[in-house]
Structure 1
Amino acid sequence: MGNLAYQVREKQNEQQKQVQKVRKKKKFRFSVGEKVLYAGFFIGVVFGSVQIVSNQVSLYDVNADIQALESKISSQERANNELKLQVVELSTYERIWAKAKELGLDLNENNVKVVQD
């Protein structure tokens, strides 16, 4: 009988070990809500990174346009300064007097009128 009790106890221990082994085999699964949250987070990260990249590209394009406009402005300012210099050179008194003599005009001091502000 003692041997029989020992055998029963041994069978119970084996069954408990098998139950414990089955519990160890159980794998952790994500619930549907967790899967939705992870998918939403992943989509948000992808969307945010795409937005950042597209904003950087648009900033690059705008900066390129600004630099092109600044170069056009500087070249136009240079041309304007050259034209102002030509105006100053062409409007000197000596040049105007020489041009008037070429055209046959003469300075008559009796015909000069002074205009005051």
Structure 2
Amino acid sequence: DWWGLGVVMYEMMCGRLPFYNQDHERLFELILMEEIRFPRTLSPEAKSLLAGLLKKDPKQRLGGGPSDAKEVMEHRFFLSINWQDVVQKKLLPPFKPQVTSEVDTR
């Protein structure tokens, strides 16, 4: 679900949800009617990606066309990503935690 990805990425990049209200009815109104606001610190590429993923009309949403994921992967935000390396699990994580077992959650 590209909308869901957009919400998660927005929260990760901006530190808050794109829409929020404790009253669920009001929250749904905000989602349907309000324009998304972006922090000035966000790069143009990040704004473009989030705006595309969070388009209200699913037919206009990034990834909502016949190319699906390819359209998202080709967005300029991901220009430096080698998707073949991602698929082949060749990328090293920026941080690798030291764990003592498979159930270690520290």
Greater relative contact order (Cα 8 A, min sep 6): structure 1 or 2? Answer: 2
- Shorter-chain TM-score tier: under 0.3
Between Structure 1 and Structure 2, which shows a larger proportion of helix residues? 1
Larger radius of gyration: 1
TM-score by length of 2: 0.17
